[in-house]
Amino acid sequence: MLRRLDRGTSDRPNTACLAAARDQVDTAAAFAIEAAGSGDLLGVSGFGAIDRHEKRATFAPIWTIGRLNEAVLVSHVAHLMTRYAFEVLEVERAELHLDWRLRRMLDLYVDLGFRCEGRLRAYFAADEDPSADAAVLSMVRSEWPSVVRRQRAVLAGETWRYRLPSDRPP
């Protein structure tokens, strides 16, 4: 489950600040990743950039505390963040930049309907290690209706699927 974090209304303002400090995630676009049943914190994520004029949202990295299978958690968070981008922010394009060496994660996002648009050389700078290339992955609004069905089918076996802060039971 994603829960919006911000300084004004969050009961976890320190978590919002942590999310904002990581990769300059705006606190207004930061989310706690929580277990649906217990509310335990599983990680943080958000949007690194939201360009309302260009109608584009760029996902920030997903930081987890390692209590769940990483692929399952990333799949759910990617689904929820994509839903939030298209259904709440109403953007035309959702994108993310992923370390090119993380092939398993790249494949996971492609399986969820993102398209790999290419490789940016030396995108992730490092102080001691060589800089890392980034894969640019994206999805556009016109693809969303068919992709959301595919994502839901992929995630159907999980107990905490389809949840957004704005979701209400029918």
Q: What is the pLDDT of residues 75-124, one digit of tens each?
A: 888 888 899 999 999 999 999 999 999 999 999 999 889 999 999 999 98
Query: Quick one: how many helices (H) and strands (E) in the chain?
Result: 4, 8
Confidence at residue 66, expressed as pLDDT on a 0 to 100 scale: 64
10 three-state secondary structure: coil
Q: Do 36 and 159 form a contact (C-beta atoms < 8 A)? A: yes
Residue 161 reports pLDDT greater than 80: no
| DSSP H or E stretch at residue 16 | helix 13-21
Q: What is the pLDDT of residues 96-106, one digit of tens each?
A: 999 999 999 99
Confidence at residue 9, expressed as pLDDT on a 0 to 100 scale: 45
Q: Among 32-36, 127-131, 134-138, name the most confident range.
A: 134-138
Of residues 53 and 156, more confidently modeled = 53
Q: Give the chain's mean pLDDT.
A: 77
Confidence at residue 11, expressed as pLDDT on a 0 to 100 scale: 52
Confidence at residue 135, expressed as pLDDT on a 0 to 100 scale: 96
Give the residue carrying structure tokens 């994206």: 138
* Lookup: tokens for 102: 């993380």
Residues in the chain, total: 170
DSSP 82-107: HHIIIIIS--SEEEEEEETT-HHHHH
CATH number listed for the domain at residues 2-155: 3.40.630.30
* Lookup: tokens for 32: 């706690």
